[in-house]
Each structure stands twice: as C-alpha cells, then as structure tokens.
C-alpha cells in the first residue's frame, strides 16, 4: 500500500479493531472471574477514541477516561499492559494499585483520570498551561462524557482554559447515557457543543462513529492553539452499546435505539469505506483481524502467568522515597 | 522571634526584622528567583497583590505569566496547579482564605494526594492560604481546615507560628516532591516578626520545635496557639509549674519522636489547638501518646481546643470560642494536681 492516506486509514481500522478485540478478550476474562473489579466497555465508541488520539502529535498529552481504550492504544500502551492492568498484576502500568484505564505517565504522554468526572478538565488545562510556560508546542486533549459535562470541574476547567486561551481540546463524548441517566435528564442544552459559547471558545459537533470525521475535527482543533488560538470543545455524537459496566444489563435502554446505532457501527462503516476505495480488499482487513487475534492469544497467556504484586507493595509510594508505616507499633512492641 | 502584639493590626518593625506576612512573600520571591519552574496562581494575587498582600509586588518582578490571576474557581486553580506540577512545574496555589479550600477538596484529596500511589507520578504542589480566627472573620473566613486533610495519605500539612518558620517551611514545601498544604495564620501576619537569617534556609517538613523547655508538663500545639501556650507557660512559671511548649509545625505526618521525647520526660500532656475539638489533630496526638508512651503518663492527656461549633462572628462569641492562656493554665493545674 504505497498511498500514505490509505495506509493511515488502514491504521485507524487496525486500532479500532484492536480496541474491540482486546475488550472482547477482557469480557471473556471477566466472565471467568479473572478481571479484578468491573469492566467498562467502549463498544460502539471506538472511532471517537481512535480518531481523536490519532490526530495528536508527538509531545502532545492525553487525558483518557475509562471508555477511551482506543486512545490509550494510540498513545502506545500495549494490549498486554491493558490486560495486566485489568488483572491487577505487578507488571501492570499502575503496579496493581489501580484498575481499568486509571494509569498514565507524563513521559508516555498520558495523564491518569480519577473517578470524579470532570476533574481532568482543569488538570489538563494545567498541563497545557505548563507546556505554554515552557514554550512547547504541546496540545493537551481530554474527554468528558455527556454526564461529566454537568460537573463544576468541567465548567471551571473550560472557563479557565478559555480565559487563558490554553492549548486544550476537550472531546465531549455524547453516548446518550450516564450510567442509567439519559441525556435529557443531564442537560436542557440541545447539543453539548452549545456549552462552548459560554466560554467564548469554538464548539463543534461531529459524527463520533465516523473515525475520519473525528480525526479531521480533532486535527482542526489541535491546529488552533499551535497558531495562537485557544481551546476547542468537540461534541462527538456516539452511542454506548453496552451497560455502564458489564454487570449492567442496561434494561433501561430502548432496544430500537440499540438497533439503530448498531447499523452505524464505526468499524463496519470504516471497513466499508476502505473497501469502497478500491485500494483495500476484504482479505487485507481479515489479515489485520487475524494478526490481532494471534497477538492477543499470546498476550492473554502471558498476562495470566504474570504475578500479582507482593502484599507489602500496598504501603509503598505514598510519598517520595518512603513506605508508610502500616503496622501497629504497640502490638509490634509487645510481640 | 517576638511575641504577637496586642490590638488590631500593624506592629512597629525594628531594623532588620521581618513580619510573618513578609516572610511568606520573601519565600515566594526567593524560590521564584531560584527556580523558574516555580509560579503562583490564585485570585487577585497579581496587580492587587492578594487579599492580605502576601504576593504584593511579585507580578512586577515575575510578570503575569508566573503570577497568574485566575477566575473565582478553586477547583480550576488547584486542578491547573496539579496539571502544571505533573507537567514539570512547581506551582504554588493560593486560596484567598483557607476556608475556600473546601471548593478544591477533590483536586487535593483525590487527584494530588493519590497520584504518586496510583500512577507513580508525583505532584509537587503547594496550596497555601490564610487560616484561623481572632480577626472577626465569621464562619467562612476564620476556619482551621487542617483536620479535613490530615486524614488523607499522600498529603503533607504544615502551619508556621513564627516568621522564621513561615519562610523556611514554605521553601521546604515548594522544594518537596509531594503535595503540601501550607496554612498560614492570618492573626500572625502582622503581629509576629523577627530577624531572619540572611542566607537561604529551609525548615524541614516533619520536624517539630521545642519553643520552651520544661519539666512538669508538655503543651503540644501549633500555629497562633504557640503564642497562647507561651503566655500560659509564663503564668504557670510564676506558680512553680514548669511547662514545655512543643510547636508541632508539621501536622501531617506528625513528628512522633519529638512528641514522645517531650511527654516521656514531663509525664503530662496538654494538646492545644484553635481548630475544633472532635477529630482534630489533638485526637491523633492523644492516640499516639496512648499507644506509644502510656506507661510514662502520670495523668490523662487533655485537649484544650475550640468547641465543636462553627466559628462565630460577634467579638464576645468569638472570644469564647477561641482557646486562651487561662484555659491552658486551668488544664495544667488540673494535670499537676491529678
């Protein structure tokens, strides 16, 4: 494939497929009781994560949420690391201290979210602020769900970023549901992009299930601060095809909505586009799928063999250079 | 160190002496000179110089980028500071009053405090602000919020009682690789002063100071109450009671060796703090004494604290609310007579 654009579009396909296939492996492990804690899917939302993160440049910083597995893969975290993280193993990115996609290191271009939604918006504004003070070209990008846009932190962070014209891009993933709460009970606004007007920044809406549309919108938003403009809020309209987590059968979701959105599946749509381009055959795509499957086979075996952290790691690294004294001094003295 | 002056505000400054408030500014100034990663952000801290003028003049020297005026958004102030710290800088976030730190609670307790443990990424952040009463600030401009945060592993909490420590502890906080909450006592801003060392110095975090040595009982305290304790100790001395005064300085983690050394020597302890009683720092100190030097105690451990109420506004009410030397003396006499 000599065509660089086609090659890039194939890579977007590969990343979305990897996102989905890896999650399918995690579901399997979850049903076997091997995943520690809950499992949060991004089924149907892969284009939003992959398309936006793929538009980042080297040196940019990403703040992913729990449904942004695709974005984390784009940033170079490996499927094996993701598996280890969900299995709570010592070699996982958080060393077993954290679960799901709660990990990140600035040197790898990723800042970990916390469970308090909205919190990453001001923090990523701070990342953008630091980068600007150091005269870097860095853009900071983070996500927020439709539910998360109701938090004070989201408002404070975007308002501050707007005032400071910071190189920050926030992707509001409107997937219709915050746990069981539908969008209409979250906000009276017609579009999450409308919120941008309050901060004096551009707000755009994009088809979140079209990976190329998401990529293009993100790319445009990233160019603004690099040429002196400020933040952008992008609403990516998508749909949460599974419950809040795997325990949630999402009985509250109308079946017809799921059927409608299933027909808009982001991977199917992108595959059709690639095939229609004439430069790609079904066999090419199948080869990608097969290779991903083979690699995941190996990763799952290796991850399951990987040891848990030693118990005393529980008291390590609360502060720089020291463990916390967790033992009862009185009892230790007596025994 | 010279004791607080009575009355409302300013104090005459003898040649070479530095007020507590100016010592804080000196620390900021010198750290910003020393390390270009250090910057300050908060409400009205730039041209206006801060509600208490702590940052007065900094913007003239360091510019608006490093002395950053923000919207009224404590979550954004501390959140952006957390992000900047993760991004490699050394932010000092100002809360206009320490009371407003509640608006940034999540950023401090869930983001900054847990980051190193969860992700291996330290957050070298200082959040500072004026705490404490005695200036008729009422329920929302007088609080001592340290105990909310002393229950959060990953944080460090300091409170200076002298101009020397105000400067040295802030420098230590800025150079620390973990998040530090620095509560300065607004009653002391223009009431205590002393001649500071010419050379660069820090007051190490985690080390208490013995303000007065004594044999008969230990008064363990911090912040403005150090001066109340010293007042009480003078009264007690006239009665033949020799009190030791320990200034905790760091409230989390506590300096257990200094606490234990003092009480093991004096065999009696009063914990004095301006913050309210239940679940305060005093409760933790009492637990340490009970666990670690029970056999050394000749009497119960007593607390002298504010009552479990909001901070009242009217002078008669606030005077009743705040611990004073007389109450400390009463507690001391009770312990000696036990």
| Per-residue pLDDT, B185 | 98
Asked if B120 and A95 come within 8 Å (Cβ–Cβ), the reply is yes
pLDDT at B8 (0 to 100): 46
- Cβ <8 Å between B75 and A157: yes
Closest-CA distance of chain B to residue A194, Å: 21
Which segments of chain A have a pLDDT < 50? 335
Taking the CA of residue B33 and the nearest CA in chain A, the distance in Å comes to 16
| pLDDT cut 90: percent of chain B above it | 96
pLDDT recorded at residue A227: 85
Does this model's pTM top 0.80? My answer is yes
**pLDDT per position as a tens digit, A68-83:** 999 999 999 999 999 9
Residue A308 catalytic? no
What are the structural domain ranges in chain B? Answer: 17-195, 209-336
Listed by start position, the domains of chain A span 4-308
Residues A126, B91: C-beta atoms closer than 8 Å: yes
Residue of B nearest to A115 (CA): B110
Which chain B residue shows the shortest CA-CA distance from A314? Answer: B117
Cβ-proximal residues to B224 (8 Å cutoff; 6+ apart), any chain: B4, B132, B134, B161, B185, B187, B188, B274
Q: Which residues, 6+ apart, have CB-to-CB distance to B300 below 8 Å?
A: B335, B338
Contact with chain A for residue B91, Cβ under 8 A: yes
Walk across the sheet containing A168-174 and list its strands. A61-63, A140-145, A168-174, A232-237, A203-207
With bands split at pLDDT 50, 70 and 90, how would you rate the model's confidence at B35?
A: very high
Cβ neighbours of residue B297 closer than 8 Å, sequence gap 6 or more: B263, B267, B268, B269, B289
Q: What is the pLDDT of residue A303?
A: 98
ipTM higher than threshold 0.85: yes
3-class DSSP state for residue B36? Answer: coil
Taking an 8 Å cut-off on Cβ atoms, the answer to whether B87 and A126 are in contact is: yes
Whether B314 contacts chain A with CB within 8 A? no
Would the CB atoms of B83 and A104 count as touching at under 8 Å? no
The domain defined by B209-336 folds into Rossmann fold (3.40.50)
* A116 neighbourhood in chain B, CB within 8 Å: 106, 110-111
Q: Is B70 on the interface with A (CB under 8 A)?
A: yes
Q: Which of these is catalytic: A237, A240, A242, A270?
A: A240
Supply the pLDDT for residue A329. 55
Question: Which residue in the set A61, A94, A123 is minimally distant from B82, CB to CB?
Answer: A123
CATH number for the region A4-308 comes to 3.40.50.970
Q: What is the pLDDT of residues B7-28, one digit of tens each?
A: 544 556 677 999 999 999 999 9
Which CATH superfamily is B17-195 part of?
Thiamin diphosphate (ThDP)-binding fold, Pyr/PP domains (3.40.50.970)
Considering CB atoms only, which of A95, A98, A126 is closest to B80? A126
Q: Give the minimum alpha-carbon distance from B78 to chain A in angstroms, rounded to a whole number.
A: 8
Query: Mind telling me how many Å the CA of A7 is from chain B's nearest CA?
Result: 33
Rounded CA-CA distance B257/A239 in Å is: 58
CA angle B42, B46, B51 (to 5 degrees): 65
Q: Which residues of B are catalytic?
A: 141
> What pLDDT, on the 0 to 100 scale, is given for residue A330?
55
């Amino acid at each position: 494939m000599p065509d660089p654009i086609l090659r890039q579009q194939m890579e977007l396909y590969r990343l979305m497929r990897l996102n989905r296939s890896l999650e399918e492996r995690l579901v399997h492990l979850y049903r076997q009781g091997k995943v520690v804690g809950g499992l949060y899917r991004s089924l149907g939302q892969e284009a939003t994560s992959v398309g936006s993160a793929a538009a980042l440049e080297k040196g940019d910083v990403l703040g992913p949420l729990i449904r942004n597995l695709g974005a984390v893969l784009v940033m170079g975290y490996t499927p094996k690391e993701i598996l280890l993280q969900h299995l709570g193993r010592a070699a996982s990115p958080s060393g077993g201290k954290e679960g799901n996609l709660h990990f990140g290191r600035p040197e790898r271009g990723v800042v970990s979210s916390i469970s308090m939604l909205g919190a990453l918006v001001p923090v990523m504004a701070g990342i953008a602020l630091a980068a600007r003070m150091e005269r870097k070209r860095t853009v900071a990008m983070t996500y927020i769900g439709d539910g998360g846009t109701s938090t004070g932190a989201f408002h404070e962070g975007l308002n501050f970023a707007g005032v400071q014209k910071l190189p920050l891009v926030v992707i509001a993933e409107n997937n219709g549901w915050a746990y069981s709460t539908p969008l209409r009970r979250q906000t009276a606004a017609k579009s999450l992009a409308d919120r941008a007007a309050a901060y004096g920044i551009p707000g755009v809406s994009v088809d979140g299930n079209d990976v190329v549309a998401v990529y293009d919108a993100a790319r445009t938003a990233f160019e603004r601060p690099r040429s002196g403009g400020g933040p952008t809020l992008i609403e990516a309209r998508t749909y949460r095809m599974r419950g809040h987590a795997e325990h949630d059968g999402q009985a509250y979701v109308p079946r017809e909505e799921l059927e409608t959105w299933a027909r808009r599946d982001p991977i199917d749509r992108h595959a059709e586009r690639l095939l229609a381009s004439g430069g790609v055959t079904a066999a090419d795509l199948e080869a990608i799928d097969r290779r991903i499957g083979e690699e995941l086979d190996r990763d799952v075996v290796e991850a399951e063999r990987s040891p848990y952290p030693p118990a005393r790691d529980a008291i390590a690294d609360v502060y720089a250079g020291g463990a916390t004294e967790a033992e009862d001094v009185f009892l230790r003295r007596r025994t | 160190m010279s004791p607080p002056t009575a009355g409302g505000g300013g104090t005459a400054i003898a040649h070479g002496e530095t007020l507590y408030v100016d010592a804080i500014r000196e620390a900021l100034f010198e750290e910003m000179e020393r390390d270009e990663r250090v910057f300050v952000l908060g409400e009205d801290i730039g041209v206006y110089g801060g509600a208490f003028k702590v940052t007065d003049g900094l913007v003239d020297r360091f510019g608006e980028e490093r002395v950053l005026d923000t919207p009224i958004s404590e979550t954004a102030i501390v959140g952006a500071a957390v992000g900047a710290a993760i991004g490699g800088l050394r932010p000092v976030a100002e809360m206009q009053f320490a009371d407003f730190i509640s608006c940034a609670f999540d950023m401090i307790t869930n983001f900054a405090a847990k980051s190193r443990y969860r992700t291996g990424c330290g957050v070298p952040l200082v959040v500072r602000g004026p705490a404490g009463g005695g200036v008729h600030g009422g329920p929302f401009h007088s609080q001592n919020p340290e105990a909310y945060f002393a229950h959060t592993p990953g944080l460090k909490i300091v409170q200076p009682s002298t101009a020397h420590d105000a400067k040295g502890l802030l420098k230590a906080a800025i150079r620390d690789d973990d998040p530090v909450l620095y509560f300065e006592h607004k009653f002391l801003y223009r009431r205590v002063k002393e001649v500071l060392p010419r050379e660069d110095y820090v007051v190490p975090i985690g080390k208490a100071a013995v303000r007065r040595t004594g044999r008969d009982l230990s008064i363990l305290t911090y912040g403005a109450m150090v001066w109340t304790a010293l007042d009480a100790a003078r009264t007690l001395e006239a009665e033949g009671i020799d009190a030791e005064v320990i200034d905790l300085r760091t409230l989390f983690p506590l300096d257990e060796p200094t606490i234990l050394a003092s009480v093991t020597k004096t065999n009696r302890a009063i914990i004095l703090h301006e913050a309210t009683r239940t679940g305060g720092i005093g409760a933790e100190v009492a637990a340490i004494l009970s666990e670690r030097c029970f056999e050394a105690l000749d009497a119960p451990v007593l607390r002298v604290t504010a009552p479990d109420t909001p901070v009242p506004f009217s002078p008669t009410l606030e005077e009743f609310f705040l611990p004073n030397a007389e109450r400390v003396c009463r507690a001391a006499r009770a312990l000696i007579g036990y």
